[in-house]
Amino acid sequence: MAENLGDRCRPTDDRRDDLRWREDVQDAARRWAVDPRLIRPCVPQIRAIEKSQRNQMLYVLATEWRAMGVAEQRALELALRWNDELALAMSPREVKGIVKSAFKGDKRYGCDTHLAPYCIGKERCPYFAAHVGTKEPLRGRATMDEFRDLGWRRGYVTRLEADVYEGIISLERIRHVGEGGRVITSMRQLGRLIDASPASASVALRVLKELSLIEFQPGRPRATGLPPKGCTVVRTIPIPAPPRVDPSIVRRLRRRIRDDNRLRRESARAVAVSVEPSVPGFS
């Protein structure tokens, strides 16, 4: 009786593999200080690379760090550490060059090319299910041109809010989720993308949500002292037309959101005084 139970409780090979993948993703999330949901399971498996592969695979890894919102300077530190663990390490100069060029464009690799030997397969990949398999891209119907043509810039949204909206579109592209796909990001990353502070990005997102342009679930900021979590943003597709209300109503709404945000930040700071933040990353 007892040995039968033991047999049944033993995980199958697939299950055991899934557990190992998940642990590696969690471990990488800690080391890289990013939300684990942004990590494709194949990516932490890029290690102990042989000499002929190391340059190419570090490039792939660095493009992934960029897509996760890791800053370039930090990516360089991670790359140097990764390089140190190779049996045959590259020169720091070579590592620097690779990271630099990976951060230049928005190039990213699918799981069917360089990552194929490390990939778990899309049937079992939680990243694929969450980010890629969700929505069919609707090409050309949800662009910035469409947004402008609908008249959103005529008194409804500010320059900054339009920039944030455009930032979401670029994240959709960088993450390959398709138009209106689910984007997980941090205020910090979004802010950096459009050259605004995390606090202004946060206000802009809340305004866009009130105007039904996006769905938005806040994450957990660093200041709370708990592990940080990215926020989730999904654009409404097709893009809705502006509401038929006087723009002054939108201005009042914006003021209210700004005040709310200030209060929220102040109380988060009050909490952070008692709990030291430990993980750098999302805010």
In this complex, which beta carbon is closest to Zn ion, that of residue 120 or of residue 205? 120
* Closest to Zn ion by CB, 82 or 128: 128
Nearest to 186, CA basis, from 283, 120, 253 = 283
Which of 57, 99, 111, 196 is the binder for Zn ion (CB under 5 A)? 111
CB nearer to Zn ion: give 111 or 233: 111
The CB-of-42 to Zn ion minimum distance in angstroms stands at: 3
**Piece of 32-40, 159-167, 193-201, 237-245 that binds Zn ion (CB under 5 A):** 32-40
Nearest CB to Zn ion, comparing residues 121 and 155 = 121
Size of the residue set binding Zn ion (CB under 5 A): 4
Residue 81 Cβ, how far from Zn ion at the closest point, in Å?
Answer: 22
Choose between 4 and 113: whose C-beta lies nearer to Zn ion: 113
Torsion, Cα 30 35 40 42, to 10 degrees, reads 0
- Closest CB to Zn ion among residues 42, 201: 42
Contacts (CB under 5 A) with Zn ion, residues 73-92: none
Out of 42, 79, 132, 162, the residue judged to bind Zn ion by CB under 5 A? 42
Contact 197, 191 (CB under 8 A): yes
239 binds Zn ion (CB under 5 A): no
Stretch that binds Zn ion, among 15-23, 117-125, 132-140, 180-188 (CB under 5 A): 117-125
d(CA 99, CA 209): 35
Residues in 2-31 that interact with Zn ion by CB under 5 A: none
Q: In this chain, which stretch among 116-124, 141-149, 212-220, 253-261 interacts with Zn ion, using CB under 5 A? A: 116-124
Q: Which two three-digit tokens encode residue 266?
A: 């102040």
Provide the token pair at 42.
């194949």
State the Cα torsion 59-63-65-70 to the nearest 10°: 120
- Complex with Zn ion: residue 40 or 222, whichever CB lies closer: 40
Asked if residue 190 binds Zn ion (CB under 5 A), the reply is no
Are the CB atoms for 156 and 201 separated by under 8 Å? no
CA distance 179 to 165: 12
Q: Is 250 in the site for Zn ion (CB under 5 A)?
A: no
State yes or no: residue 39 binds Zn ion (CB under 5 A). Answer: no
Q: Does 119 bind Zn ion (CB under 5 A)?
A: yes
- Residue 180: both structure tokens together: 């209106």
Amino acid occupying residue 148: R
CB atoms within 10 A of CB 107: 13
Residue holding tokens 């060029």? 101
- At its nearest, how many Å lie between Zn ion and the CB of residue 125? 6
For the purposes of burial, counting CB atoms within 10 Å of the CB of 169, is it exposed (0-12), middle (13-18) or buried (19 or more)? middle
Q: Which is nearer to Zn ion, 79 or 111 (CB)?
A: 111
Beta-ladder partners of 185: 231
Q: Collapsing DSSP states into helix, strand and coil, what is residue 20?
A: helix
* Minimum distance from residue 43 beta carbon to Zn ion (Å): 8
Q: Which helix (H) or strand (E) holds 239?
A: none
Positions touching Zn ion (CB under 5 A) are 40, 42, 111, 119
